[in-house]
C-alpha cells in the first residue's frame, strides 16, 4: 500500500518535490516536467542544426561544385599516356649500326627493381598484375629507353649522344615532352628532328584503385627515320686507335684525324680527342 503525503514547502527547497511512503521506506519524487521539455527542445535544435549542415554540404558538392567534381572524377577515371617514339638508327656506309634505341622493362615494387622481358611485361599487364600506367599486385612496369652506341668512344665525336630534355628545350620546342630525349652533339644533335619521330598517345580507363580497365583509344607512335653516314666503321676504328696511340707516345691528350674520299669529298673517318 502506497501512501502519498504532501509536505509543507520549506524555504530553499523546490516546490516540485514530494515524498512517497512505501511500507517503512520513504522516497523523494521530483516533479521535473518543465525541465524535461527544455532538454527535449535543446536536443531537437541540435538535430535540426546537424541535418542543416549536412544538407548544406550536400548542396555545395552536388550543385555548386557539381560540374567541377564531375570533371575531376572523369579526369581520375581516364588517363592520357604518352607513348615515346623510337628514335631512328644511325648506320655506317657499310650498314653497321652505330646508334640505336633499346627499351628495357623493369618491374618496380617499392625500392626493388627486377628487369623483365617485353613479353613478360605484356602478360603482367593483360592480367592486371602490373602495368605501365598503374601499380598492380606485383608492382608497376617502368619502361626505360636506352641509346646504345656500338663503337662507343671510337665514334662519339662524330655520332654524338642524347640526353634528357631541359626546361629550355621544352620552352623552345612545343612538340617535346618531359620524357623525351634530345641530341646533344654530332649527328644526334644536327639531325634531332629527323631522328626523333612522332610520339603516340594512349587513352586508358582505370578503376578507383588506378588499375587499367581498358584502352579507350590510341594513336601509335611513328618511329624516327634512319640515317646512313659516309663513315666507314672499320676505318673509323683504325683511325681512332692510330691517333690515340700516337698521342700517348708524344704525351698529348689532344688530336684529330679526318679521312676523306678525294674524288667525292665524302668523310670516311672523323676522330677527335
Residue 13 confidence (pLDDT): 46
Residue 264 confidence (pLDDT): 93
Secondary structure of residue 32 in the 3-state scheme: coil
Name residue, grid cell 626546361: 167
Residue 17 confidence (pLDDT): 46
Radius of gyration of the chain (CA): 40
- Which residues make beta-bridge pairs with 214? 205
pTM to 2 decimals? 0.65
CB 255 within 8 A of CB 247: yes
Residue 266 confidence (pLDDT): 95
Residue 126 confidence (pLDDT): 82
What are the pLDDT tens digits along the chain (273 aa)? Answer: 444 554 454 454 444 444 545 455 454 454 555 566 777 777 778 888 888 887 777 766 666 556 665 665 555 577 777 888 899 999 999 999 999 999 889 998 888 888 998 899 888 888 888 887 777 888 888 888 889 999 999 999 999 999 988 888 888 888 888 878 899 999 999 999 899 988 888 887 776 666 666 777 888 889 999 999 999 999 999 999 999 999 988 888 889 999 999 999 999 999 998
42 to each of 36, 55, 56, 209, 264, how far by Cα in Å?
10, 20, 21, 44, 102
Residue 7 confidence (pLDDT): 46
Q: Give CA–CA dist 126/212, Å, rounded.
A: 9
Residue 231 confidence (pLDDT): 95
CB 156 within 8 A of CB 273: no
Residue 175 confidence (pLDDT): 81
Amino acid at each position: 500500500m502506497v501512501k502519498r503525503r504532501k509536505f509543507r514547502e520549506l524555504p530553499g527547497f523546490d516546490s516540485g518535490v514530494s515524498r512517497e511512503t512505501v511500507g517503512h521506506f520513504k522516497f523523494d519524487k521530483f516533479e521535473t516536467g518543465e525541465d524535461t521539455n527544455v532538454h527535449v527542445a535543446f536536443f531537437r535544435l541540435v538535430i535540426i542544426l546537424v541535418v542543416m549542415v549536412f544538407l548544406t554540404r550536400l548542396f555545395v558538392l552536388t550543385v555548386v561544385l557539381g560540374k567541377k567534381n564531375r570533371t575531376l572524377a572523369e579526369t581520375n577515371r581516364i588517363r592520357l599516356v604518352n607513348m615515346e617514339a623510337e628514335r631512328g638508327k644511325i648506320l655506317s656506309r657499310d650498314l653497321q649500326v652505330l646508334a640505336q634505341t633499346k627499351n628495357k622493362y623493369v618491374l618496380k615494387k617499392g625500392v626493388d627493381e627486377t628487369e623483365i622481358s617485353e613479353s613478360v611485361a605484356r602478360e603482367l599487364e593483360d592480367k592486371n598484375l602490373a602495368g605501365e600506367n598503374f601499380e598492380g599486385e606485383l608492382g608497376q612496369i617502368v619502361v626505360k629507353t636506352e641509346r646504345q652506341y656500338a663503337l662507343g668512344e671510337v665514334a662519339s665525336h662524330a655520332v654524338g649522344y642524347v640526353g634528357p630534355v631541359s626546361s629550355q628545350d621544352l620552352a623552345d620546342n612545343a612538340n617535346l615532352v618531359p620524357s623525351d630525349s634530345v641530341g646533344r652533339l654530332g649527328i644526334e644533335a644536327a639531325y634531332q628532328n629527323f631522328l626523333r619521330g612522332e610520339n603516340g598517345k594512349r587513352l586508358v580507363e582505370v578503376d578507383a584503385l588506378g588499375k587499367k580497365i581498358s584502352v579507350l583509344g590510341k594513336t601509335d607512335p611513328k618511329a624516327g627515320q634512319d640515317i646512313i653516314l659516309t663513315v666507314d666503321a672499320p676505318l673509323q676504328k683504325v683511325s681512332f686507335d692510330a691517333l690515340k696511340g700516337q698521342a700517348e707516345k708524344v704525351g698529348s691528350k689532344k688530336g684529330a684525324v679526318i679521312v676523306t674520299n678525294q674524288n667525292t669529298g665524302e668523310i670516311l673517318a672523323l676522330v677527335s680527342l
